[in-house]
Amino acid sequence: MVADRASADSKKRNPAIVLVEPQLGENIGAAARAMANFGLGDLRLVRPRDGWPSKKARAAASGALGIVDDARMFESTEAAIADLNFVYATTARSRDLPKEVVGPREAVAVLKARAAAGQATGILFGRERWGLTNEEIALADTIVTFPVNPAFASLNMAQAVLLVCYEWLSAGLDGKLPTRVAVPEIDVTPARKAHLLGLIRHLEEALEPTGYFRTADMKPTMVQNLRAVLQRAGFTKDEIDVLHGVVAALERQRERRRGDTADG
Amino acid sequence: MVADRASADSKKRNPAIVLVEPQLGENIGAAARAMANFGLGDLRLVRPRDGWPSKKARAAASGALGIVDDARMFESTEAAIADLNFVYATTARSRDLPKEVVGPREAVAVLKARAAAGQATGILFGRERWGLTNEEIALADTIVTFPVNPAFASLNMAQAVLLVCYEWLSAGLDGKLPTRVAVPEIDVTPARKAHLLGLIRHLEEALEPTGYFRTADMKPTMVQNLRAVLQRAGFTKDEIDVLHGVVAALERQRERRRGDTADG
């Protein structure tokens, strides 16, 4: 079927997330949800403790049901990674193993390069309580570990999946945000100086009759001060228009009061 | 006490995590756990829905009890950020707001630079179900959003906290200075939010009797507009003092005129 082929292609491009003996359905669902958020889709489970399918996994997936329902079951970690060319194992602590250890960002850079070269890749995540065995880690090519506070290292499995998936999507964006989060085109171009000077003049005229510029001697310094404040703000033309409106309103009020006095 | 001093210092350096009306204790605990993993400690809660303290939060913190127990409660978002110089708001969707939008990595680079300059910073996270209101977002300087798959964008609050905290620690490990981010000089530190909010209130009061806010219906939008203009300017405390003086002068004039009328 066409859909299957497309899905197989996408599974080939993106790394497989392999959960080894996950204990709680909730965590499997949370991992699926993390995957969906960042565009991954190939979920593989090795002997989930509480059986499969899992209602709790489906509930926790929060809409990422397709990933949960398409998850593939394996009897062994070896079988789960049999079709992959390159595999990372995630660990919380350093192990005394003759393997390279990298952070998630570095790992994703490697995975991207290998995927681009047509390789099928995957990442192993261990049990919630005690991670992967040394034998399972030995099946992987390299170890990924997470930069955490040594005084409190307690990432759970779904959080570790989230971080890897997040790095995967981030690496593809080169710092750009994906299109759904359309960045509103805000023009924050500072207004031409003529507009800024117009505002300063307006403010100066409004302040003149208020006694703000105590003495004629002090006025130049005070105007310069105001100018510095408004200049540094880097107001746009639109923002300057808003401020003209504010000053005009405060002035008008004065005019109106003056009018009241004249009429009264 | 030495511990308290150290903790106060670390609170100054690291951004505050501000959860606005979090709904579930579990999620507050998960956020605290994420913070602990990546070395953050300043947790602030605005009106948690199910009350406080929360047994569920403590259970989900998984050892990060200190952060949960030290969390500070606030009656409003304004109060929660009053002592901060620079604040990010996290959003899932793009909003039609005149604010810059950045990804978490960029946001963390800015936070690092500002923290290095001695500024107190923070990040707002919204309710699980519907995030932050536009009014709450308007209180922040800039928006952070997450690079997610447009077809499935469903990060929960604790996951968003995790990603920001992860970037925070990762950025610290790079050892490289974020050269792309202009490090603000110390003398242009944006004022604490309490000062900015004070100026906005002052201006609002001064404008109220002038008819600037044509109708009661239009007022909230117009106030938000003004707030956006003043917020984006990034005024320092000294600059805000100058502007208070300007507004007070324009107001005084009105009072004097009023006095004239009474006398006349």
Instruction: Give me the residue from A184, A203, A229 closest to B96, CB to CB.
Output: A184
> pLDDT class for B36, splitting at 50, 70, 90?
very high
pLDDT at B178: 30
For residue A160, count CB atoms less than 10 angstroms from its CB and return exposed for 0-12, middle for 13-18, buried for 19 or more: buried
pLDDT at B186: 39
Q: What is the mean pLDDT of residues A243-254?
A: 86
pLDDT at B2: 37
- Residues of B whose CB is below 8 A from A155: 37
Phi first, then psi: give them for residue A83, nearest 5 degrees.
Answer: -90, 0
Query: Does any CB of chain B come closer than 8 Å to the CB of residue A231?
Result: no
Average pLDDT value for chain B: 84
Query: Does any CB of chain A come closer than 8 Å to the CB of residue B95?
Result: yes
pLDDT at B6: 40
For residue B235, the tally of other CB atoms under 10 A from its CB is 22
Distance between B30 CA and the closest CA of chain A, angstroms: 10
Q: Kindly report which listed range (A30-34, A77-81, B121-125, B187-191) carries the lowest average pLDDT score.
A: B187-191
pLDDT at A35: 96
> pLDDT class for A255, splitting at 50, 70, 90?
low
Residue B30, beta-bridge partner list: none
User: How far apart are the C-alpha atoms of B81 and A125, rounded to whole Å?
Assistant: 38
- Residues of A whose CB is below 8 A from B68: none
Q: What is the CA radius of gyration of chain B?
A: 20
Higher pLDDT, A106 or A262: A106
Residue B35 near residue B67 (C-beta atoms within 8 A): yes
pLDDT at B257: 57
Are the beta carbons of A253 and B249 separated by less than 8 Å? no
pLDDT at B128: 87
- Output the CA torsion sign for B196, B198, B203, B208: positive
Kindly report, residue by residue over A55-102, the tens digit of the pLDDT: 999 999 988 999 999 999 999 998 999 888 888 999 876 666 667 788
Distance between A39 CA and the closest CA of chain B, angstroms: 5
pLDDT at B181: 34
Query: Does any CB of chain A come closer than 8 Å to the CB of residue B170?
Result: yes
Query: Does any CB of chain B come closer than 8 Å to the CB of residue A132?
Result: no
Instruction: Give me the residue from A64, A149, A258 closest to B169, CB to CB.
Output: A149
pLDDT at A95: 64
Are the beta carbons of B152 and A63 separated by less than 8 Å? yes
Q: What is the mean pLDDT of residues B78-83?
A: 93
pLDDT at A96: 65
Query: Does any CB of chain A come closer than 8 Å to the CB of residue B194?
Result: no
Taking the model in full, what pTM does it have?
A: 0.75
For residue A27, is pLDDT > 50?
A: yes
> Residue B1: which residues within 8 A CB-CB, separation 6 or more?
none
Q: Collapse the DSSP code of B130 into the 3-class scheme (helix H, G, I; strand E, B; otherwise coil) and give the result.
A: coil
Are the beta carbons of B36 and A155 separated by less than 8 Å? no
Are the beta carbons of B63 and A154 separated by less than 8 Å? yes
Q: Kindly report which listed range (A89-103, A119-133, B35-49) carries the lowest average pLDDT score.
A: A89-103
Higher pLDDT, B187 or A122: A122
Instruction: Give me the residue from A147, A152, A264 closest to B170, CB to CB.
Output: A147
pLDDT at B4: 41
Residue B124, beta-bridge partner list: B18, B89
For residue A207, is pLDDT > 70?
A: yes
Query: Does any CB of chain B come closer than 8 Å to the CB of residue A218?
Result: no
- Counting one residue from A and one from B, how many pairs have CB atoms under 8 Å apart? 201
pLDDT at B42: 96
pLDDT at A84: 84
Q: What is the mean pLDDT of residues B72-78?
A: 96
> pLDDT class for A176, splitting at 50, 70, 90?
low
pLDDT at B254: 61
For residue B25, is pLDDT > 90?
A: yes
pLDDT at A254: 61
> pLDDT class for A174, splitting at 50, 70, 90?
low
For residue A194, is pLDDT > 90?
A: no
Mutate to test the interface with A, among B110, B188, B257, B263 (most CBs of A within 10 A): B257
Are the beta carbons of B147 and A169 separated by less than 8 Å? yes
> Residue B131: which residues within 8 A CB-CB, separation 6 or more?
B90, B91, B92, B93
Kindly report, residue by residue over B156-211, the tens digit of the pLDDT: 899 999 999 999 998 876 533 333 333 333 356 788 888 888 999 999 999 999 98
Q: Kindly report which listed range (A190-204, B160-174, B250-264) carries the lowest average pLDDT score.
A: B250-264
Q: For residue A210, what is the DSSP state? A: G
Are the beta carbons of A209 and B253 separated by less than 8 Å? yes
User: How far apart are the C-alpha atoms of B264 and B256, rounded to whole Å?
Assistant: 12
- Token couple for B188: 């242009």
Q: What is the mean pLDDT of residues A144-169?
A: 89
For residue A6, is pLDDT > 50?
A: no
Query: Does any CB of chain B come closer than 8 Å to the CB of residue A192?
Result: no
Chain B (11-30) residues lying within 8 Å, Cβ to Cβ, of chain A: none
Chain B (39-58) residues lying within 8 Å, Cβ to Cβ, of chain A: 39
pLDDT at B118: 85
pLDDT at A98: 66
Residue B127, beta-bridge partner list: B131
Average pLDDT value for chain A: 83
Are the beta carbons of B212 and A245 separated by less than 8 Å? yes
Q: What is the percent of chain B with per-residue pLDDT over 90, rounded to a whole number?
A: 53
Q: What is the percent of chain A with per-residue pLDDT over 90, rounded to a whole number?
A: 44
Does ipTM surpass 0.90 in this model? no
> pLDDT class for A40, splitting at 50, 70, 90?
very high
Mutate to test the interface with A, among B13, B26, B37, B226 (most CBs of A within 10 A): B37
Distance between A75 CA and the closest CA of chain B, angstroms: 30
- Residues of B whose CB is below 8 A from A179: 150
Query: Does any CB of chain B come closer than 8 Å to the CB of residue A98?
Result: no
Distance between B75 CA and the closest CA of chain A, angstroms: 30
Q: Kindly report which listed range (A29-38, A80-89, A150-159, B243-252) carries the lowest average pLDDT score.
A: A150-159
Render the burial of B142-158: b for 16+ CB within 10 Å, e for the rest.
bbbbbbbbeebbbbbbb
| Residue B173, phi-psi category: left (phi > 0), alpha (psi -120 to 50), beta (remainder) | alpha
For residue A186, is pLDDT > 80?
A: no
Instruction: Give me the residue from A38, A178, A203 closest to B246, CB to CB.
Output: A203
Q: What is the mean pLDDT of residues A256-263?
A: 51
